[in-house]
Structure 1
């Protein structure tokens, strides 16, 4: 798979944080002791590093991590799950979106997580690996993540479609789970975590039984950023800190956009969590 770019630039992080905290440009410029023109410049992507650091402090972001992101000086070391895991990156409008398969190599029981814009590659892996798709889990129901849900469901009619009880789902046979629900695929355990804010029922799935612990997080977290929310930003940030950043440091984070990463790497390089 080609190298997947980091989802957000430094100005995306600044803009979504400012919107989420509902701080006006005038207020932020005054707090950071910068001019309106300087703020406008960094918000439009001009890498004025001194200004970026001042703004970061007043948005409760890590100045060091935000500067590294602005310099494009770091990319997450890609973790490897040698078996029982596949990642799919498909184009959707002007971006790409991730979906995943996880399976038990002994029983061949599998679960899909979202569909992306095109599930054909996922169907190919199911066929080639002779997998039995038991579950389709939805991190949330924004269009880019479930664009091919009906085709996947039709191709595996026995697979159960599951989403959070908080998330609106239009699929007629969808079932809903509560937080900390447990599912199993042979020796693989899947635990649901409510990490909402970006959407009403945005959920993550903590998976054990593979070579490394794995968290499939949808738009809760991206490498160097997180999902935005103009109305529930504080909830999103709180859930990320309390439920995802407290997972074991070697946990692989599989986000809805951008490359794979780990809890340890995000604690060092994500402006929302680095200190």
Structure 2
């Protein structure tokens, strides 16, 4: 798979945070001690390092990590799963979206997480590995994440989503927080990390080579999912539920490349201090 670019750039992080915290341009410029022209320049993607260093604390973002993001100095080291894990990245309108597949090596039972824009490669993997797709777990119901749900559901796998954001289709089931599912030696636990959407769910998977958190749009490498109405709740859920997982946990976001919790604590402007 070719290298997947980061979902957000530094200007996206600034704009997303400003919208989420409902800070006007005038108030943000005053708080950071910069001019309106300087603010407009960096929000438009111009790299002005002194302006970025002033804006970061005003937005409660990490100064060094935001600056490194602007300089494009960091890309997450990619974790390797010898077997039992596959990532799929498919184009949807002007972006790409991720979906995932995990399976138990002995029983050949598998679970899918979202479908992406197309489930072609996922279903090919199910066939080539001789797997039985037992579950399809939905992180959230935005169109890009469930675009090919009908085809995946045709495998007769059980469709599961949060009780706070159910899938509108016959036979789909809902779970509560801290529900547990098992596939042979694999264990899957649900964590409600809502904010970007009403029922955003993180699935914490153990039993693979690395602990794995499939987080939907809760967190991206170097960023996180935005929300104009529930930004602070998204941030709080990320901090209280995802960032407290083991440091070697692989973070599998709905967009962008894989990363790890340890790397995000060092390089994500929302969490690095």
Residues in 2 aligned to 1:143 and 1:34: alpha-carbon distance in whole angstroms: 39
Q: CA offsets, 1:10-36, max 9 Å, x none?
A: 000000000000000000000001000
Q: Residue in 1 aligned with 2:235? A: 237
Residues 182-235 of structure 1: CA distance to partner in whole angstroms, max 9, x if unpaired? 000001000000000000000000000011100000000000000000000000
CA–CA distance in structure 2, aligned partners of residues 274 and 126 of structure 1: 38
Q: Please give the TM-score of this superposition, normalised by the length of structure 1.
A: 0.99
Q: How does 1:87-126 map to 2 (within 5 A)?
A: 87-126=87-126
Q: Which runs of 5+ in 1 are unaligned?
A: none
The Cα offsets for residues 58-88 of structure 1, whole Å up to 9 and x where unpaired, read as 0000010000000000000000111100000
Query: Are the aligned partners of 2:166 and 2:174 in contact in 1 as well (CA < 8 Å)?
Result: no
CA distance in 2 between partners of 1:66 and 1:22 (Å):
20
In structure 2, the residue matched to 1:170 is 168
**Aligned equivalent of 1:147:** 147
Does the aligned pair in 1 maintain the 2:216–2:252 contact within 8 Å?
Answer: yes
Give distance in 2, aligned partners of 1:5 and 1:205: 23
Separation in 2, partners of 1:5, 1:225: 12
Q: Deviations over 1:131-184 (max 9, x none)?
A: 000000000000000000011111x12x10000000142122210000000000
Q: Does 1:214 align with 2:212?
A: yes
SS of the counterpart of 1:144? helix
Q: Of 246, 259, 262, which residue of structure 1 is paired with 2:260?
A: 262
8 Å Cα contact 2:85-2:100 kept in structure 1: yes
Deviation at 1:130, TM superposition (A): 0.4
Structure 1: 4+ residue segments shifted above 2 A: none
Give SS of 1:193's match.
strand
Distance between the aligned counterparts of 2:172 and 2:233, measured in 1?
25
Q: Answer whether contact 2:160 2:175 (CA < 8 A) is retained.
A: yes
CA distance in 2, matches of 1:161, 1:133: 11
Aligned residue in 2 for 1:132: 132
Distance 2:32 2:207 in 1: 47
Whole-angstrom distance in 2 between the partners of 1:39 and 1:128: 52
Shift of 1:268: 0.2
Q: Distance in 1 between matches of 2:271 and 2:238?
A: 9
TM-score, with length taken from structure 2: 0.99
Contact 2:111 2:134 in 1 (8 A): yes
